[in-house]
Chains A and B, each alone.
Chain A
Amino acid sequence: MSLNIIVLAKQVPDTRNVGKDAMKEDGTINRAALPAIFNPEDLNALEQALHLKDANPGSTITLLTMGLPRAAEIIREAIYRGADSGIVLTDRVLGGADTLATSYSLAQAVKKFGNYDIILGGRQAIDGDTAQVGPQIAEKLGIPQVTYAEEILDLKDGFVTVKRRLENGVETVKAPLPCVVTVNGSAADCRPRNAMRVQKYKFAVSPSEVAKLTDRQKEIVENRPYLQLQEWGAAFVDADPEQIGFAGSPTKVKSIENVVFTAKESRVLDDDDAAIEDLVKELIANHTIG
């Protein structure tokens, strides 16, 4: 059985080293100022999708991402690893969205896309760590969700069987298709790029990227539809202006602060025996230990 698989992915700022200047005054993120990467758990989701494709020849994997036009970069990355095509949902009016407005926008795009059997995505994105978008899209589409997935064990007869990784154990569930499955970082790593696919798809571009190509490259893209990534706007997916972007977001950022910890006056000790014995005696005397 060939499947229509959608993988939801996000291009995220690398959150390991950012400061206050990465935020705009209205409390939203100044993404342009930071190095952008493929959200790690979305790669785990892509691998599960590729597994399904391996097992079900003729299946197609479409990457769907919402963000700036440059998010086409992660679509190419996914295609190099085995995905078939991708859509960037990008529009100024989608900016400043919280998870709910984001889910609504993405759910609209999924509806526009139409025929799908399963939607996979990472458990959460490292810039927000909320894990909310997957379940919210499922709700908006009126389909079941399976979160914290570690492995898709089986897909047949209109059902998918999934192993979930929970805090204190594992659970295996069976859900009817179509459904949304969000994948944990504990799942299998994504396979690397395939050199032949990198060659074949290196000019896969979105409409806003075409402008940067040479005339010769433009011609190649024009003649090869598989190199044409799609770019969709809010109107194209029939998004209700009231439900998108900043206006459509019930949550608002009131304020942002840098994290400061109150420093204590510490006593600095050497590691010699006398110092450590004194410390131990003191802690015993004041009942901290013992």
Chain B
Amino acid sequence: MDKNNLIVYCEFEDGKVADVSLELLTKGRQLASKLGVKLEAIVIGDNLDKVEEQLFPYGVDRVYKVSDKRLYPYTTNPHAAVLINLFKEIEPQICLMGATCIGRDLGPRVSSCLHSGLTADCTSLEIGDHKDVKTGKEYTDLLYQIRPAFGGNIVATIVNPECRPQMATVREGVMKKEVFDAAHKGEVVDLDPSKYVSDEDFVVEIIDRHIEKSKINIKNSPIIVAGGYGVGSKENFDLLYDLANTLGAEVGASRAAVDAGFTEHARQIGQTGVTVRPKLYIACGISGQIQHIAGMQDSSIIISINNDPNAPINTIADYVITGNVEDVVPKLIKYYKKNSK
């Protein structure tokens, strides 16, 4: 088997590959092409029939499948054992995972065992060269792992010059999911689980599990009405739901609004929430701190409604409405209803 490729660990639940994994495959395809290597995917679980059909359109050249009843639902050691043992054979140069409860549990375990570096929560991944300032040694084609640091106040570019694989996790929504070629086909490699996992790896037992499909899908909504602390109350947030219903939009929020209990965490947008890039983003009573902007700056059109004409978010807005949320939002609803027919 050829070595030195780029591999993405794909999460699989309810017969579906997770969005975050498909987003990473999209990014992985670009990086692998740039490096001139194959894009590989690994799926570990149970009932993996035909999973490759979901993966190939994203440009995957090879899918490794490891299927065993005991490998679903995810537990740490068995999945880690598969990756560790497989990586010793195929020596990938890059391994990407979702910065999810699974990826952030699995990645460090694997990187510790392989003594490879791991960078969490990257917001951008690039290929580039590097010169070590101390030794003067030059490296080509490293993975630049770019992430916010220090609470989002700075952005750091991290490299792993010597150790492989170069590992990184990325949060859901940060990368764009795009089909590479619907007709693309790759190879499937079924791995024998007993060669990669031993009985002793099954140490942690899942007694009970309640996973709900998230009802909130702000990431894929073309229009987002987002509320901040300036919305003032849970009751006022209802105004935002009204506007969202009128426009066919979803409601998002800043962390301050979530912390204040105005709405649920699943709606939080920003560095520690979801990253969104809708056609229209209406920011209501949001000041626009770095950590919030990091999650919505790629919106095509931004409207800011804020009673402070100097709110930082106004600098990145296309339209600034200086006024109170409770006055402006009902007017938007009223004039949309009047003019939309």
Q: Let me know if A11 is at the binding interface, CB within 8 A.
A: no
* Chain B contact residues, CB within 8 Å of chain A: 73, 75-77, 80, 100-101, 104-105, 107-109, 111-113, 115-121, 130, 132, 144-145, 148-163, 203-214, 223, 247, 272, 279-280, 290, 293-294, 297, 300-304, 309, 314-324, 327-328, 331-332, 335-336, 338-340
Is the beta-carbon distance between B331 and A273 smaller than 8 angstroms? yes
Is the beta-carbon distance between B332 and A263 smaller than 8 angstroms? no
Q: Let me know if A18 is at the binding interface, CB within 8 A.
A: yes
Is the beta-carbon distance between A250 and B153 smaller than 8 angstroms? no
Contacts A99-B118, A132-B107 given; 6 further ones with Cβ under 8 A? A169-B209, A175-B205, A250-B115, A259-B153, A264-B315, A279-B319
A254 in contact with B144 given A147-B104, A168-B214 (CB within 8 Å): yes
Q: Let me know if A290 is at the binding interface, CB within 8 A.
A: yes
Nearest B residue (CB) for A174: B205
Q: Total interface residues on A, using CB and 8 Å?
A: 80
A-B contact pairs, 13 of them (CB 8 A): A15-B153, A103-B108, A130-B121, A147-B101, A169-B212, A253-B157, A256-B149, A258-B153, A261-B315, A266-B315, A268-B319, A277-B338, A280-B336
Is the beta-carbon distance between A259 and B120 smaller than 8 angstroms? no
Is the beta-carbon distance between A284 and B339 smaller than 8 angstroms? yes
Is the beta-carbon distance between B211 and A168 smaller than 8 angstroms? yes
Q: How far is the CA of A145 from the CA of B203 in the complex (A)?
A: 10
Is the beta-carbon distance between A130 and B120 smaller than 8 angstroms? yes
Q: How far is the CA of A121 from the CA of B209 in the complex (A)?
A: 23
Is the beta-carbon distance between A271 and B121 smaller than 8 angstroms? no
Is the beta-carbon distance between B332 and A268 smaller than 8 angstroms? no
Is the beta-carbon distance between B155 and A256 smaller than 8 angstroms? yes
Is the beta-carbon distance between B207 and A172 smaller than 8 angstroms? yes
Q: Which of B101, B280, B301, B316 interacts with A262 by CB under 8 Å?
A: B316
Q: Let me know if A269 is at the binding interface, CB within 8 A.
A: yes
Q: Let me know if A221 is at the binding interface, CB within 8 A.
A: no
The segment from A36-44, A73-81, A133-141, A231-239 that touches chain B is A133-141
Which residues of chain A have C-beta atoms less than 8 A from B152's C-beta?
A: 259
A276 in contact with B314 given A136-B109, A270-B322 (CB within 8 Å): no
Q: How distant is A185 from chain B, measured CB to nearest CB, in Å?
A: 11
Q: How far is the CA of A280 from the CA of B158 in the complex (A)?
A: 44
Q: How far is the CA of A185 from the CA of B75 in the complex (A)?
A: 22
Is the beta-carbon distance between A168 and B108 smaller than 8 angstroms? no
Is the beta-carbon distance between A288 and B279 smaller than 8 angstroms? yes
Is the beta-carbon distance between A18 and B150 smaller than 8 angstroms? yes
Q: Which of A131, A164, A257 interacts with B120 by CB under 8 Å?
A: A131
Which residues of chain B have C-beta atoms less than 8 A from A103's C-beta?
A: 108, 112
Q: How far is the CA of A264 from the CA of B323 in the complex (A)?
A: 20
The segment from A21-29, A190-198, A212-220 that touches chain B is A21-29
Which residues of chain B have C-beta atoms less than 8 A from A256's C-beta?
A: 149, 154-157
Most buried by B among A13, A19, A23, A167: A167
Q: Which 10 A-B pairs have the closest CB atoms?
A: A271-B323, A15-B151, A250-B117, A251-B117, A250-B163, A135-B108, A139-B112, A169-B211, A136-B112, A132-B108
Is the beta-carbon distance between B319 and A266 smaller than 8 angstroms? yes
A271 in contact with B328 given A261-B315, A280-B336 (CB within 8 Å): yes
Q: How far is the CA of A18 from the CA of B153 in the complex (A)?
A: 7
Q: Let me know if A176 is at the binding interface, CB within 8 A.
A: yes
Q: How far is the CA of A166 from the CA of B132 in the complex (A)?
A: 39
Q: How distant is B97 from chain A, measured CB to nearest CB, in Å?
A: 12
Nearest B residue (CB) for A271: B323
Is the beta-carbon distance between B204 and A175 smaller than 8 angstroms? yes
Which residues of chain B have C-beta atoms less than 8 A from A13's C-beta?
A: 150
